Amino acid sequence: MASVSVNDISVRDAMGDERRLNEWAGKVLLIVNVASRCGFTRQYAGLQQLQEAFGPRGFAVLGFPCNDFGAQEPGSLSEIKQFCATTYGANFELFDKVHATGAKTEPYLTLTQVEPAGDVAWNFEKFLVGRDGTVLARFKSNVEPESRELIDAIEAALG
């Protein structure tokens, strides 16, 4: 099966403006569906640590709030950003809310051709995207940002 690039996918930023992921072309991305009232919410701190550690090498965390799983992201985007900044010191890019399940699933969540296959199962699933926009790996919610598995994959993608 041919690789699919995420570079031409359009998303809505925090201001409601449409942006294309190709703005990050040439960078390694970690795309994460996030939620502020989830058992995995503490991962915000680890995601920020990844941003700080690898950002200078051409890496970016892109967070997409999602309220599909247990209604664990009920707030507005401004409330979510405030919570992330004050509670976890997180200042990586957050976008408008997305859907990770059902007919309205965001395109970036359907392009992955890597294991584990199938629908997004919960908050804080992570998609590692290479510099060319190809999804390289997918990590389930229980894979912590500090895990050796994820860090090794990021380092390999950065080269």
Which residues neighbour 142 within 8 Å (Cβ) at sequence distance 6 or greater? 40
Which residues neighbour 18 within 8 Å (Cβ) at sequence distance 6 or greater? 10, 11, 12
Cα angle vertex 76, ends 62, 105, to 5°?
55
Q: Is 66 annotated as catalytic?
A: no
Catalytic residue selected from 35, 38, 120, 150: 38
Tokens of 9: 């996918």
Query: What is the set of active-site residues?
Result: 38
